[in-house]
Amino acid sequence: MILVAKIVMGMAGVGLAGAGVLCSEGLVCVKVIEKRPQGHHLSVIAPAIVAPIAVHLAPQRDLAQAAREIGPYLPVIRAALIGLRDTGDAAFVEVREPNERVRVSKSGGSVVVDVDDAGEMVRVSAPIRAILSTVDELSAATPNRF
């Protein structure tokens, strides 16, 4: 009986540790609400660590094109992300038009993009740390590293 309890405890520990590792970079959240009768309400939450791992494991030849195109901008993107990481929570960009509102902000270590128009409401939230890790992976995959 004690042995079974130890095994269950061990498995629970492994499960908790796994969940901890998965959530170590935070969570990416995507929420889409269609503004029409019987419109879809979509909500996706995924561990952000998946993004840098996916870039790391992606075949080099498939990444090469993307890496080549984004390569020249990586230093600026990286500097912007570091600046963003080190700054306080704020709304950085807000665009308001009669039927549309777009807001890019930082909230609790994540970049949050809100788009609210006549057709739908979209919210995407991604941890800056995970974006930075993904950019670093992309940078490592770039043929002439910047």
Footprint of other proteins on this chain (CB under 8 A)?
75-76, 78-80, 82-84, 86-98
DSSP secondary structure code for residue 117 in this structure: E
Q: How far is the CB of 135 from other proteins (least distance, A)?
A: 12
Task: Select 11 or 76, whichever has its Cβ closest to other proteins.
Answer: 76
Element (H, E) at 15: helix 2-22
Q: Tokens 């080549």 map to which residue?
A: 68
Q: Which residue matches tokens 């840098």?
A: 52
For residue 98, the minimal CB distance to other proteins (Å) is 4
Query: Which residue's CB is nearer to other proteins, number 12 or number 82?
Result: 82
Identify which of residues 31 and 101 has a Cβ nearer to other proteins in the complex: 101
104 in Cβ contact with 19 (< 8 Å) = no
